[in-house]
């Protein structure tokens, strides 16, 4: 049966013809659909191609299931797609992360120059018959300090172009190693330093809970008087009401906005100010970028629907569906082992070592490695880590990933051993699959156990191997209402110490933990949990 693709935002014609000619798909281009109309027709389509205008809500995704298999965004930002809902409904979500980055960075530089030299104001003034040379005097960007917040694909290009304008570029990005930024030749600073020093501040971060209002009243108060602010990322990263106040007070001299909380913004107070220049979300709007992203989106949809090949998906690993199916017990296990290790390792991770031992039937284990890295990083970073971005994110954080395959004699058919080195030393977890898909963690550091790594609360207690130790721990936890669901006791090497592994019915509260730690025979307690 002919596959059907709906294109609900304007994309370059080259993408549409690629879908039709290369793949024989039936393509409907219907832009500007009201949500209810999109909802009523989405169930007929195998894939949806969008830009930033279409809001792919949980409602739309539910209406699309079960036929809808993929959403491709001809562009980068996916804040208009409910990704958890897409995953829930089995819909792959892809973007085209490279095609428009140069264009958007160039737009940012254009905005900075236009803002600095009053170009839009000059045009308007001339149109109204005036010749306002004095009023519209600008300044040089030469030797000024540009603060770049977010050193990803676009932020790093903006930094590079600004450097070539002979600006001093300072960078803040909590997820990128200082050395990465310094090796690129830029100064790595804290956010407060950036606020205090920058003459221009430009944001290039995704729109997330943590980045909404990143530039707000408190931030403006830390900035130099006369700073200029640019937002070519997403509306709301710079708080619009607080920006308005900061412009009125003179703290911020001028602002350039390509994006708004509500688009189109209509009669927006900011647009009434002479020292605000704005464009209607034009960051990615060049012919070159639009051809790039339309063709990439079309290519990704064709590969996905025809060959099960996943490219640039944010909620699926980049492999064929077939391989994924075969690997799924191992990817689940590796992800959980990673999550577990995150809790032992904390910050400053430098290395994750993954060793595969035994029989993996010649399968490509890259998705399993990715799952381990994803599991490790998920609890540690502020935004969504997925199978596609996990490895590159680890690279940016300065985490080395090494893998090794062995066929050493072991007690299991297959064994995955993951070691993570961090500021807290090296921690190791090993796991296996019993039968076809029963995941088990069989070792945590030097303790052999049999742990089912599903959602729950756990503790590892080191204690002196003397009568009464276990009883005192059970009684203490019981006093605080903590039920022990499972207990395993092992000896620590040939020392006089035991290791006790507990699965508890609820989180061990801080006061209970303190009480257990105070027990005379207890030497050390580590608690951790798995959330899925």
Ligand X SMILES: NC(=O)C1=CN([C@@H]2O[C@H](COP(=O)(O)OP(=O)(O)OC[C@H]3O[C@@H](n4cnc5c(N)ncnc54)[C@H](O)[C@@H]3O)[C@@H](O)[C@H]2O)C=CC1
The 10 Å Cβ neighbour count of residue 526 is 15
What is the chain's alpha carbon radius of gyration, rounded to the nearest angstrom?
A: 27
Q: How far is the CB of 285 from ligand X (least distance, A)?
A: 7
Q: Which of residues 284-313 bind ligand X (CB under 6 A)?
A: 284
Segment 99 to 128, residues that bind ligand HPV, using CB under 6 A: 100
Contacts with ligand HPV, 232-271, as mask; x by CB under 6 A: ----------------------------------------
- Residue 528 CA to residue 526 CA, distance in Å, equals 7
CA–CA dist 292, 34 (Å, integer): 27
Q: Which is nearer to ligand X, 17 or 175 (CB)?
A: 175
What counts of helices (H) and strands (E) characterise the chain?
A: 18, 22
- Tokens found for residue 473: 């721990």
Q: Which member of 11, 51, 68, 77 binds ligand X (CB under 6 A)?
A: 77
The site partner of 51 among ligand HPV, ligand X, none (C-beta below 5 to 8 Å per kind) is ligand HPV
- In DSSP terms, 29 is beta-bridged to 7
Query: Residues 57, 285, 414, 472: which binds ligand HPV (CB under 6 A)?
Result: 285
Contact segment (CB under 6 A) with ligand HPV among 186-194, 235-243, 277-285, 452-460 equals: 277-285
- Of 284 and 512, which CB lies nearer to ligand X in the complex structure? 284
Q: Are 93 and 146 within 8 A, CB to CB?
A: no
Select the binding partner of residue 175 from ligand X, ligand HPV, none (C-beta < 5 to 8 A, by kind). ligand X
Count of residues in contact with ligand X, rule CB under 6 A: 35
Is residue 371 a contact partner of residue 331, using CB atoms and an 8 Å limit?
A: yes
Choose among 445, 439, 460: nearest CA to 504: 460
Distance in angstroms between the alpha carbons of the first and the last residue of the chain: 38
Beta bridge partners of 21: none
Between 100 and 432, name the residue whose CB sits nearer to ligand HPV. 100
Site for ligand X in 233-262 (CB under 6 A): 233-234, 258-259
- Strand pairing class (252-257; 276-278): parallel
CB-CB contact of 422 with 412 (8 Å): no
CA distances from 387 to 187, 378, 436, 489 (A): 30, 11, 23, 35
Contacts of ligand HPV in 77-96 (CB under 6 A): 77
Of 207 and 299, which has the nearer Cβ to ligand X?
207
CB of 516 to ligand HPV, least distance (A): 49
Residue 387 touches which of ligand HPV, ligand X, none (Cβ within 5-8 Å per kind):
none
232 binds ligand X (CB under 6 A): yes
204 forms part of the interface with ligand HPV (CB under 6 A): no
Give the β-pairing of 456-464 and 522-530: antiparallel
CA dihedral 322, 327, 332, 336 (to 10 degrees): -140
Q: DSSP letters along 90-106, please? A: T-EEEE-SSTTHHHHHH
Interacting span for ligand X (CB under 6 A) from 201-209, 417-425, 474-482, 513-521? 201-209
- Pick between residue 212 and residue 487 the one whose CB is nearest to ligand X: 212
Which residues are part of the catalytic machinery?
A: 234, 263, 281
Q: Kindly state whether residue 207 participates in binding ligand X, applying the rule CB under 6 A.
A: yes
CA distance readout (Å), 447 to 230, 354, 495: 53, 18, 13
Q: Which stretch binds ligand HPV (CB under 6 A): 75-83, 157-165, 396-404, 514-522?
A: 75-83
Tell me the residue nearest to ligand X as measured from the CB.
Answer: 152
Specify the length of the chain in residues: 532
Distance CA 14, CA 26 (A): 15
Residue 200 tokens, joined: 């221009």
Among 34-42, 74-82, 132-140, 469-477, the segment contacting ligand X (CB under 6 A): 74-82
Write the interaction track for ligand X spanning residues 153-192; mark x where CB under 6 A is met and - where it is not.
xxx----------------xxxxx----------------
Of the candidates 161, 182, 171, 42, the one whose C-alpha atom is nearest the C-alpha of residue 109 is 161
Residues in 497-526 that interact with ligand X by CB under 6 A: none
Is residue 489 a contact partner of residue 447, using CB atoms and an 8 Å limit? no
Q: Is 281 in the site for ligand HPV (CB under 6 A)?
A: yes
Query: Which residues pair with residue 394 across a beta bridge?
Result: none
Residue 155 interacts with ligand HPV (CB under 6 A): yes or no: no
Contact 61, 82 (CB under 8 A): yes
Residue from 49, 284, 319, 482 in contact with ligand HPV (CB under 6 A): 284
**Dihedral of the alpha carbons of 35, 38, 39, 43, in degrees to the nearest 10:** -160
Q: CB 411 → ligand HPV: shortest distance, Å?
A: 50
> Least CB distance from residue 260 to ligand X, whole Å?
11
For position 231 contacting ligand X by CB under 6 A, the verdict is: no
Give the H or E element holding residue 357: strand 351-358
Site string for ligand HPV, 23-52 (x = CB under 6 A): ----------------------------xx
Binding residues for ligand X, per CB under 6 A?
75-77, 97, 100-101, 104, 149-155, 172-176, 204-207, 210-211, 214, 232-234, 258-259, 281, 283-284, 383
> What is the binding site for ligand HPV (CB under 6 A)?
51-52, 75-77, 100, 281, 283-285
């Amino acid at each position: 049966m002919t596959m059907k693709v709906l294109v609900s935002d304007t994309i370059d014609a080259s993408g549409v013809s690629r879908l039709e000619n290369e793949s024989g798909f039936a393509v409907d281009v219907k832009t500007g659909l009201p949500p209810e109309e999109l909802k009523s027709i989405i169930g007929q389509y195998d894939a949806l191609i969008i830009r930033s205008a279409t809001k792919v809500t949980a409602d739309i995704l539910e209406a699309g299931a079960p036929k809808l298999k993929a959403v491709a965004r001809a562009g980068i930002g996916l804040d208009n797609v409910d990704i958890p809902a897409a995953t829930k409904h089995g819909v792959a979500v892809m973007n085209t992360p490279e095609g428009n980055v140069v264009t958007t960075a160039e737009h940012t530089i254009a905005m900075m120059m236009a803002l600095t030299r009053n170009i839009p104001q000059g045009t308007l003034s001339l149109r109204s018959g005036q010749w306002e040379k004095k009023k519209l005097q600008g300044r040089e960007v030469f030797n000024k300090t540009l603060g770049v917040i977010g050193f990803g694909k676009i932020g790093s290009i903006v930094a590079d172009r600004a450097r070539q304008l002979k600006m001093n570029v300072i960078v803040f990005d909590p997820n990128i190693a200082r050395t990465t930024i310094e090796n690129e030749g830029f100064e790595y600073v804290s956010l407060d330093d950036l606020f205090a020093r920058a003459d221009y501040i430009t944001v290039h971060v995704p729109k997330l809970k943590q980045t909404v209002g990143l530039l707000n009243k408190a931030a403006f108060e830390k900035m130099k008087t006369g700073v200029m602010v640019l937002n070519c990322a997403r509306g709301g990263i710079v708080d619009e009401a607080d920006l308005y106040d900061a412009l009125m007070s003179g703290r911020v001299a001028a602002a350039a906005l390509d994006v708004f909380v509500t688009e189109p913004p209509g009669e927006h107070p900011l647009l009434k100010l002479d020292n605000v220049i704005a464009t209607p979300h034009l960051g990615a709007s060049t012919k070159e970028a639009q051809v790039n992203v339309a063709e990439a989106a079309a290519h990704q949809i064709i590969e996905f629907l025809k060959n099960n090949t996943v490219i640039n998906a944010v909620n699926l690993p980049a492999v064929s569906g077939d391989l994924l199916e075969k690997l799924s017990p191992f990817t689940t296990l590796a992800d959980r082992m990673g999550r577990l290790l995150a809790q032992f390792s904390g910050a400053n991770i430098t290395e994750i070592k993954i060793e595969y031992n035994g029989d993996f039937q010649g399968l490509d284990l890259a998705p399993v490695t990715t799952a381990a890295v994803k599991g490790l990083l998920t609890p540690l970073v502020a935004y969504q880590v997925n199978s596609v971005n996990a490895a590159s994110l680890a690279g940016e954080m300065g985490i080395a990933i090494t893998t090794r395959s062995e066929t050493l004699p072991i007690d299991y058919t297959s064994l995955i051993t993951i070691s993570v080195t961090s500021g807290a030393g090296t921690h190791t977890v090993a796991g296996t699959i019993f039968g076809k898909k029963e995941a088990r963690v069989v070792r945590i550091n030097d303790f052999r156990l049999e742990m089912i790594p599903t959602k729950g609360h756990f503790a590892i207690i080191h204690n002196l191997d003397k009568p009464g130790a276990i009883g005192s721990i059970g009684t203490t936890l019981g006093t605080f209402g903590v039920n022990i669901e499972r207990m395993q006791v092992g000896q620590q090497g040939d020392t006089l110490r035991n290791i006790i592994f507990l699965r508890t019915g609820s989180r061990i509260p801080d006061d209970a933990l303190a009480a257990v730690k105070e027990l005379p025979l207890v030497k050390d307690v580590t608690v951790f949990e798995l959330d899925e």
